[in-house]
Amino acid sequence: MNAVNESFLGGADNGVLRLITAGSVDDGKSTLIGRLLYDSKGVFADQLDAIARAKYKRVAGEGIDFSLLTDGLEAEREQGITIDVAYRYFATPARKFIIADAPGHEQYTRNMVTGASTADAAIILIDATRAADGVLLPQTKRHSTIAKLLGLRHIVVAVNKMDLVDWDQAVFERIHASYAQLAERLGIASFQILPLSALNGDNVVTLSPRTPWYRGEPLLTLLEGLAVDDNGSDQPLRLAVQWVSREGGDRADDFRGYAGRVSSGVLRPGDTVQVQPSGVSAVVREVRLHDRALEAAYAGDSVTVVLDRDVDVSRGDVIVHADAPARVGREFDAELCWLDTQALNPARRYLLKHGTRLTSAKIRALHTRRDIHELQEVPNEAGVLQMNDIGRVSLITRESLAVDAYDDIPSNGAFILIDEATHQTAAAGMLR
């Protein structure tokens, strides 16, 4: 009977690490997460009992099919694949984790994009039996490209199923060399790589005696040591206004505050700020959280800002420090990850959601499309983007937006496109 992990209650809070697992079909992503949950005692006894009796169990004998801990949909268990992103939470005495298990099939690449958009790190799994000659599968290249585009700080390459190649160091070294070439072509500055067996638990939580030639750390120890982003507190201030808070509107001294979430930077009383896109300036009189005043609000805090004078502020505006404004404009270049089953149609208008602002937008030009096999941008001669395509475009919006380049401030450089007719999310975009 697996004991309850009490580190949720008594462990030191060293920050939350948000992970996504990615790779090709049957690389063992779900099994790896299940093994992490099990070995860190993040699984309850009734869960183990349920998967032990599951009719879709694919492990012989009394063994545990760890993939069933994340593949919860009936269709997933029936087909033995991951279809939707599954989120799992667990903790060790050193850190808390949120893991997103992304599908491996090419048709579900868009699910990987949504899962990776909030991640700090990616675990790219490679099946040692299918890459023994050093040739990487297309989805490994595609997911690595997406991880780079989304600016994930840490990439961990897990060479799985090493037990099926007899823990051959030469196989591992060939895969290591191939991924190093891929990382160089994609511009990935650094990555960490390790050999493991998710099914048997080798090098997952503890080092395996089967890899005396591996000098690194087991996966869990490696993840516990990754630096967590400070959520952008060292970046310029960006606060997207969600709504205007009013109280006592029938009096001359009525309260007026502007509620929103600080997505980056730090906001303090006395700061001179600017409301964009209008460009009107004011001084922060007070920063409030519920009924108390704060000395400072940091990235991630949802607060109400009171200014020293009444200015025109409405939902969708962005409050910035006057000496570090965002770029204001209507025309932008961006990279789109197309998510909709209907291809991009340049003749149509789409709704663009940026922060709390919703406006209409039109694609003015489609410049290039990323060729995953050649790992480069190629001219988009077809003039369309199909589902799961990634391409660079120019677009124009009906209203002015206060934006930053995604590489500089991801929270203010990301947006989505919405189909006006179906209200489906059509694309995830990154301003360049």
pLDDT tens profile 373-389: 666 788 887 778 988 88
Q: State residue 74's pLDDT score.
A: 37
Residue 10 scores a pLDDT above 50: no
Confidence of residue 102 (pLDDT cuts 50, 70, 90): confident
Q: State residue 237's pLDDT score.
A: 97
CB 214 within 8 A of CB 202: no
Q: State residue 9's pLDDT score.
A: 45
Q: State residue 183's pLDDT score.
A: 95
> Looking at residue 116, what DSSP letter applies?
H
Q: State residue 270's pLDDT score.
A: 97
Q: Which residue has the higher pLDDT, 69 or 22?
A: 22
Q: State residue 223's pLDDT score.
A: 94
Amino acid (1-letter code) at residue 118:
T
CB 299 within 8 A of CB 265: yes
Write down the architecture of domain 238-321 according to CATH: Beta Barrel (2.40)
Tell me what the mean pLDDT of segment 158-163 comes to.
96
Confidence of residue 175 (pLDDT cuts 50, 70, 90): very high
**Coil, helix or strand for 272?**
strand
Residue 2 scores a pLDDT above 50: no
Q: State residue 138's pLDDT score.
A: 84
Q: How many CB atoms are located within 10 Å of the residue 282 CB?
A: 20
Dig out the tokens for 419 from the structure: 């189909």
Q: State residue 249's pLDDT score.
A: 52
Residue 25 scores a pLDDT above 80: no
Q: Where in the chain is the domain with CATH 2.40.30.10?
A: 238-321, 327-431
CA distances in angstroms from 387 to 62, 343, 361, listed in the order given = 41, 6, 19
Q: State residue 8's pLDDT score.
A: 41
Tell me what the mean pLDDT of segment 331-346 comes to.
92
Report d(CA 393, CA 397) in Å as an integer.
Answer: 13
pTM: predicted TM-score of the whole model, two decimal places: 0.80
Q: Is 186 exposed, middle or buried (0-12, 13-18, 19+ CB in 10 A)?
A: middle
Would you give the distance in Å from CA 151 to the centre of its chain?
9
Q: How many CB atoms are located within 10 Å of the residue 173 CB?
A: 13
Q: State residue 329's pLDDT score.
A: 96
Specify the range with the lowest mean pLDDT, choosing from 236-240, 319-323, 382-386, 411-415: 382-386
**Which CATH code for domain 327-431?**
2.40.30.10
Q: State residue 282's pLDDT score.
A: 96
Residue 137 scores a pLDDT above 60: yes
In the chain, what percentage of residues exceed pLDDT 70?
A: 81
Tell me what the mean pLDDT of segment 145-164 comes to.
93
Confidence of residue 44 (pLDDT cuts 50, 70, 90): very low
Q: Which residue has the higher pLDDT, 221 or 54?
A: 221
Report d(CA 157, CA 176) in Å as an integer.
Answer: 9
Find the length of the chain. 432
**What is the overall mean pLDDT for the chain?**
84
CA distances in angstroms from 161 to 64, 204, 329, 376, listed in the order given = 16, 12, 51, 30
Would you give the distance in Å from CA 306 to the centre of its chain?
32
Residue 339 scores a pLDDT above 70: yes
Of residues 5, 19, 7, the one with CA closest to residue 226: 19
Q: State residue 199's pLDDT score.
A: 87
Residue 229 scores a pLDDT above 70: no
Of residues 287, 282, 289, 235, the one with CA closest to residue 263: 235
DSSP character string of 329-385: EEEEEEEEEE--SSPP-TTSEEEEEETTEEEEEEEEEEEEEEETTTTEEEE-TT---
Q: State residue 165's pLDDT score.
A: 96
Confidence of residue 11 (pLDDT cuts 50, 70, 90): very low
Specify the range with the lowest mean pLDDT, choosing from 45-49, 239-243, 292-296, 354-358: 45-49
Would you give the distance in Å from CA 219 to the centre of its chain?
20
CB 408 within 8 A of CB 419: no
Q: Which residues contact 77 (CB under 8 A, 6 or more apart)?
A: 54, 56, 68, 71
Report d(CA 243, CA 223) in Å as an integer.
Answer: 38
Residue 99 scores a pLDDT above 90: no
Q: Assign domain 6-225 one CATH number from 3.30.60.50, 3.40.50.300, 3.40.30.10, 3.40.228.10.
A: 3.40.50.300
